Amino acid sequence: MGVVFRSLRLLACSLLFLPSGCRVAPSDSIGGLDVSRTLSLQPTQVVLHLPPNDGSPGLFPSSSRFVVTETRDGVGHARTEGLHWESSDPAIAIGEADGTVLAVATGSVLLSVRMSDQPSLMATASVIVKDGGRADVVLE
């Protein structure tokens, strides 16, 4: 009876994409995937601006830092090591090991982070890079 119940619970969780109220034991898995472990990335969208070409500081941010959270059995922990960052187009924006994303050129990309020890755990965020423009301030 316990095996049948556990199997039904795993099936229900997998069909419902693991909603927050669906908890499974650490030993539970679906197709080899540890269903009690998830990865999230905050914020989920960032807008960056290219710095001015003349080397002066821009008025808008040209970089941002993401926070990665690994959740196991409902408990979340910030994760800073054992991560692999990837940009869908490094010519537009790149992700660095510490979670910083840097604007390179105008456009839009998806930035992905994966766990080094379990590459199937992945989180993504949208990055939009705009032209920084320039605002000249004249004081009289």
pLDDT in tens, 36-90: 788 898 999 999 988 877 766 677 788 899 999 999 888 898 988 899 999 999 9
**CA 48 to each of CA 59, 74, 89: distance values in angstroms, whole numbers, following the listed order:** 11, 32, 15
pLDDT digits (tens, 9 = 90+) for 3-34: 333 444 444 444 444 433 344 334 444 455 55
SS3 sequence, the chain?
CHHHHHHHHHHHHHHCCCCCCCCCCCCCEECCEECCEEEEEECCEEEEECCCCCCCCCCCCCEEECEEEEEECCEEEEECCCEEEEECCCCCEEECCCCEEEECCCEEEEEEEEECCCCCCEEEEEEEEECCCCCCCCCC
The confidence score (pLDDT) of residue 62 equals: 87
Higher pLDDT: 132 or 131? It is 131
Distance CA(67)–CA(32), nearest Å, equals 27
Is residue 98 within 8 A of residue 84, CB to CB? The reply is: no
